[in-house]
Amino acid sequence: MTRSQFFINISCLFWQYDAFDIGFITTDDLTNADILEATYPAVAKRLHGDWIKDPAIPIVTGFLGKGWRTCAVTTLGRGGSDLTATTIGKALGLREIQVWKDVDGVLTCDPNIYSGAEPVPYLTFDEAAELAYFGAQVLHPQSMRPAREGDIPVRVKNSYNPNAPGTLITKSRDMSKAVLTSIVLKRNVTMLDIVSTRMLGQFGFLAKVFSIFEDLGISVDVVATSEVSISLTLDPSKLWNRELIQQASELDHVVEELEKIAKVNLLQHRSIISLIGNVQRSSLVLEKAFRVLRMNSVNVQMISQGASKVNISLIVNDSEAERCVKALHSAFFEEDDISDMDRGH
C-alpha cells in the first residue's frame, strides 16, 4: 500500500467537522461564549444524518461555536473542549461521555501539593462541580452542565495510562460509607469582613451588599453571614484576569462603595480549602479537620457550608494552605481512625 492509499483509507473511517459548521450555536461573546439550546437538535440532525449515509467516526474541533446573531466564530472559554464533548453527548443521547486528561481521573488532592494523592473512583455531578469551581484543574464547572442535564455519566480517563479505570461521574452514588472525597485548594483569595453600621434590624443589608458586587461585575466565592455582618471571599479567577492597576482600582472601589453602608476590613493573601464529600456527616468531617488544624497551629478565619451539601470551605492564610492540605489528606485518606471516631471512640 502506498502512502497516499493509506491516507485515503484512513480518511474513509472518519468524518471531519468544524463545530461551528455542524450546529454549535452560541451567544455572541467571542471569547467566552455559552452554548444555546438550539445547538442540541442541530448537532443531532447533522451527525445522525451523516452517520446514516456513511457510518464513519465523527472528529469534531473543540472549543468553537458560531454566534447566533453575528454568525462569527466564537470560542467557549476555559474547559471549552470538554464542553464540546459533553454537548455532543447530550445531543446524541449517548450512554457515556469520556474526557481524556493527563492524570488517572479526579484525585483526592492536587498532586503538585501532595504526591500521595489518589484517584477518586466515583463522583456525583454535585461533587464534581464543587471540585471544579474551587480549584480542581481536571474539569471546569461549565463543561459538565450538558451531561448533567442529560443524565449521562462522564468518565475521566488518562491518555498516558489508558488501562487506569479513571473516575466515573454520575447523578448519584452510594454515599453510605463516604466521608471525604477530595480536598481542593484555591489560592490568592481576597476576603472581606463587612459589618453594618446600623447594627440590628437593618432591612435589606445583604441585598445592598450584593448589589454592589453585581454593579461592579465581581463574583463572590464563599459567604458566611449574621444579621449585622457578612464575611465573603472574591473569586480570583474573575478578579485577577484584569491588569494589576485595574485590580487595585477595583478593590478600592469595592471598599469605597461598601463603606457607605458598613465598616469594611479587606484581607488579602488568603486561601480557600474546600472539603468535598458527604456533608451529611459534617460533624465528623469538622471534628477531624479542626483537630488536624489545631495540631498544626492553624486558626481558621472563616467557615462556610455550601447549599449543595457536598462542600465545607475553610479560609486560612496563603502561607499555611499547602501545609494544611497535606495534613488533612494524611488524616482523612491515610489514617484508619475515621471509623473509630464515627463510633464515638
**SS3 of 174-230:** CCCCCCEEEEEEEEEEEEEEEEECCCCCCCCHHHHHHHHHHHHCCCEEEEEECCCEE
- The answer as to CATH 3.40.1160.10 being correct for domain 1-94 is yes
Give the side-chain half-sphere CA count within 13 A for 76: 26
Residue 3, pLDDT score: 45
Find out whether 285 and 275 touch, Cβ atoms under 8 Å: yes
Residue 51, pLDDT score: 93
**Which residue is associated with the grid cell 471534628?**
287
The DSSP line for 273-306 is EEEEE-GGGHHHHHHHHHHHHHHTT---SEEEE-
Residue 246, pLDDT score: 54
Separation of alpha carbons 157 and 326, rounded Å: 25
Helix (H) or strand (E) holding 165: none
Nine cell digits for residue 83: 464542553
**Which residue is associated with the grid cell 498516558?**
160
The ranges assigned to domains in the chain are: 1-94, 96-173, 183-333
Find out whether 23 and 45 touch, Cβ atoms under 8 Å: yes
Cross-strand bridge partners of residue 156: 99, 167
Find out whether 212 and 260 touch, Cβ atoms under 8 Å: no
Residue 236, pLDDT score: 65
Neighbours of 135 (CB within 10 A): 19
Blockwise average pLDDT, block size 10, the chain, 345 residues: 46 84 95 95 96 92 95 91 96 96 93 93 91 80 91 96 95 86 92 81 78 85 85 74 55 88 92 90 90 95 81 94 96 69 39
Q: Which fold has domain 183-333?
A: VC0802-like (3.30.2130)
* 72: Cβ contacts below 8 Å, ≥ 6 apart: 28, 30, 66
**What are the C-alpha distances in Å from 96 to residues 50, 104, 106, 156?**
21, 18, 17, 11
Residue 18, pLDDT score: 96
Q: Which fold has domain 96-173?
A: Carbamate kinase (3.40.1160)
To 5 degrees, how large is the angle CA 325–CA 188–CA 182? 30
Identical fold at 1-94 and 183-333? no
Predicted model pTM: 0.83
Instruction: Classify 271 as helix, strand or coil.
Output: strand
Tens digits of residue pLDDT in 34-90? 999 999 999 999 999 999 998 899 999 999 999 999 999 999 988 899 999 999 999
Instruction: Classify 9 as helix, strand or coil.
Output: helix
